[in-house]
Structure 1
Amino acid sequence: MLRLALVPVFLVLLVRGEDAWALLVLAVASFTDFLDGFLARRFGQITRLGQLLDPAADRLYIFAALLGLAWRDLVPWWIVLVVVGRDVFLLGLGVVLANYGFGPLPVHQLGKVATFCLFYALPMIMLGEAFPGVSGWSLPVGWAFGLWGAFLYWWAGIIYAVETARVIRLPRVNPPRRSDTLEV
């Protein structure tokens, strides 16, 4: 919950150009994410809510970083549209799956790699802005990971679309029953 609560703090700091503070908030959020995951696995406290909120928080940080950096003209708006567009696309796939009685697809390893690339790229770009002395290497590294991450993000999205098409064509053993009458 702390991680989710820090998203607006992170975004405000980023929009204001307080990159060092924004990076600190991001580091704290990342540490709490690591700690939460570690403790949940260690003590068998994995919950469905946690499985839903963790990737949601990841997406919110990516969106906040992209929006904040684009607002300041540090990244082009098209990259925001590429990343957000892919998540809107996946949301549509989720609706299709739900209409066929399926839950979300398991996370694909390529999607994890793409998210890692974006999680690495955006702070590297912020680092170059916060500390101009390191921008000579942090900005090129950040952009390389960012562009690669956006490409992999869509590649994983296409894999999810193919898998969705495969899953909804599977024969249903026990299709959901629909009743025309209300039973009390």
Structure 2
Amino acid sequence: MTVPNALSVLRLFGVPLFLYLLLGPHADGWAVVVLAAAGASDWLDGKLARWLDQTSKLGMLLDPAADRLYIFATLLAFVVREIVPWWIAAILVGREALVGVCLLVLRRYGYGPFEVSYLGKAATFNLLYAFPVLLLAQGGSTAAEIARPIAYAFMLWGGALYLWSAGLYVYQLVLAVRRSPGVLAA
């Protein structure tokens, strides 16, 4: 267990706490703190992995898994609390399902997972930034009124980048499958 992997595992353990805070007592302030800590540990585990030369296959699985789990958990809680409409969550979760199917097809043809693109990282960053600001945008206070357009802008931009990165993954899949022996190029 490396230091970056330990941070990723701690981030994973934060997901149930985050969900409890959002759905149980509606402790949005504390949920923002948990989400911010998760975002900081996401940045820190990548930096530490490179700095300490502790990059690992486990870390390459844990880090994106934690990101995806936070995105899924946040969307679920936001739909339950009616912070975002269900169709936005469905589009983003559908994107994840599409990428998951692509990974299965890649594996079937003997390839490993996609390289993480900067576009995908930017999309995840925007979404993970939008979520706490969306929480801060709840209510009728002046701070909420200021936060609301910022939150929606990050959500829309992150969602668009998320879908664009999925399109690039599908394109990479098509190219990989076409290069595979025994596959006729159309």
Q: TM-score range by the shorter chain?
A: 0.7 to 0.9
Show CA shifts across 1:1-24 (max 9, x none): 111001010011111321001011
The equivalent position to 2:106 in structure 1, one of 94, 97, 108, is 97
- Cα RMSD (Å) of the superposition? 1.5
Which residue in the other structure is 1:2 paired with?
A: 10
Which residue in the other structure is 1:21 paired with?
A: 30
C-alpha spacing 1:94/1:136, structure 2 compared with 1 (3 Å): same
Show CA shifts across 1:60-81 (max 9, x none): 1111111111101111001110
Which residue in the other structure is 1:81 paired with?
A: 90
Runs of 4+ in 1 over 6 A off after TM superposition: none
What is the correspondence of 1:151-162 to structure 2 with a 5 Å cutoff? Answer: 151-162=160-171
C-alpha displacement at 1:131, in angstroms? 8.7
Unaligned runs of 5+ in 1: 173-184
Identity %: 46
Q: When the two structures are superposed, what TM-score results if normalisation uses the length of structure 2?
A: 0.87
* Number of residue pairs aligned between Structure 1 and Structure 2: 172
Show CA shifts across 1:16-64 (max 9, x none): 3210010111122222223322222111011100011001101111111
Q: When the two structures are superposed, what TM-score results if normalisation uses the length of structure 1?
A: 0.88
Distance 1:2 1:22 in 2: 15
Tell whether 2:144 aligns with 1:132: no
